[in-house]
Amino acid sequence: MKYIVKLFIVTLSIVILTGCYDRDIIDRKDFNHSLPIVTNLSVSQQNNIATITWQIPSDISDSFRRPIEVSIQVVEDDIYRQNIAVFDEATSREIEIDPAKEYKFIVKLLGFLTPDAKEDGFTDRVFSEGVIIEL
């Protein structure tokens, strides 16, 4: 009898919890704001300092507040280590590294929509696609 009650409670819980989200919201793809990718991405190394440089495209929509930020994800020996934010539309960043290890840097633009461009139900924070460079 206890087994049947437990089975009933588990089954009921599964049925209730699987109906607790709206799949239409998750699948909605009509968000009309995007950022271009960074261009002219390069990396150089001097001892234990990696210098990453890039260009921010000029064709960024007026729907985004300025200045645009840059996000750099640091992957060391295939392990995600940190995320570095670069502000004020800077076009380079020095990062301390271990010269004995391999690195990948994923560089993305990050913009925030203006109040007029923000859509209900969507975030105002938009990332571009990432561009990967290895060292």
Domains annotated for the chain, with CATH where assigned, are 32-134 (2.60.40.10)
Greatest Cα pair distance in the chain? 72
Sign of CA dihedral 62, 55, 109, 84: negative
| Residue 85 token pair | 């934010």
d(CA 74, CA 97): 10
pLDDT, residue 120, reads 77
Q: Characterize the bridge pairing of strands 125-127 and 92-96.
A: unpaired
For 77-112, how does the pLDDT look when each residue is reduced to its tens digit (9 = 90+)? 999 999 999 999 999 999 999 999 999 999 999 999
User: What are the φ/ψ torsions at residue 20 (nearest 5 degrees)?
Assistant: -95, 10
pLDDT, residue 130, reads 92
Note the pTM of the prediction, 2 decimals.
Answer: 0.74
